[in-house]
Amino acid sequence: MKIFLLEDDFSLNRLICNALEQRGFFVTSVDDGYDAMTNILNNKYDLYILDINVPGFSGHEVLEQIRKSHEKLPVIIVSAQLDIDNISKAYDLGCNDYLKKPFELEELILHVKYHIKSILKSDVDKDVIELGSGFSFNLKEQSLYKHNHEIILTQKEKLLLTLLINNLDKTVSSEMIHEYVWDSKEMEAVSMRSMVHKLQKKLKSGMIVNIRGIGYRLISAKVEL
């Protein structure tokens, strides 16, 4: 899962990043509102963590921009602003959660897991998504297993598999893959085909199907292949 973090306190930024990455999340972090705007306009994330008082655009303004494109993706505000006006404004703009500083890192992790659960429509406390045919994907570790034996994945393969799992039995367009896995950076079409092919070889034949001219689909165990 990809998480975006806006936090201008360098030490806290690093602590949050490390805590999330140790739990298998992929984190993009910035320390000012200008970089935040550039990132959210050009890339897609699964969850956003925003401070309010940061250089450049405020967390409120960044939240407002996120909601213009993504109405339902979770946004957690982390702020030392405890007055009701700031809290009320954050919720009016569409935040899902407001965590007051200082907080324990484990408390933030619990909030993140709660909102990720709503995305996956799955119990992330189990950490494991069963894919059928002996395959499973551990969300916490971002690890693929077949009958409890780990299958090594590259970072981009992990991101692709996460994206496909989030859209199980639905077609994921090549544009979505480009945005999510490559952060919309320039790439050759052959790179995507090559990576998908390598991931297909690590799963059971037919689990990832090519929807010609559109993209790819991960078939769940409940769907006839």
- pTM of whole model > 0.75? no
3-state SS assignment for residue 75: strand
- Mean pLDDT over 47-58 rounds to 96
Question: Identical fold at 2-120 and 128-218?
Answer: no
Q: How confident is the model at residue 195 (pLDDT cuts 50, 70, 90)?
A: very high
Q: What is the CATH number of domain 128-218?
A: 1.10.10.10
Per-residue model confidence (pLDDT) at position 166: 80
Q: What's the angle, vertex CA 222, arms to CA 221 and CA 224, rounded to 5?
A: 90
The total of other beta-carbon atoms located within 10 Å of residue 190's CB is 8
User: What's the Rg (C-alpha) of the chain?
Assistant: 18
**Mean pLDDT over all residues of the chain?**
89
Q: What are the pLDDT digits (tens) for 93-151? A: 999 999 999 999 999 999 998 888 777 654 444 568 888 888 999 876 788 999 889 99
DSSP-assigned letter for residue 48: E
Q: What are the pLDDT digits (tens) for 83-101? A: 899 999 999 999 999 999 9
Per-residue model confidence (pLDDT) at position 138: 83
Per-residue model confidence (pLDDT) at position 126: 56
Question: Residue 5 forms beta bridges with which residues?
Answer: 29, 49
Task: Give the integer Cα–Cα distance in Å for 191 and 194.
Answer: 5
Task: Give the integer Cα–Cα distance in Å for 114 and 108.
Answer: 10
- Mean pLDDT over 147-167 rounds to 90
Q: What are the pLDDT digits (tens) for 59-76? A: 999 999 999 988 889 999
Q: Domain 2-120: which CATH class? A: alpha beta
Choose among 71, 48, 43: nearest CA to 178: 43
Q: Token pair 């109405």 is at which residue?
A: 71
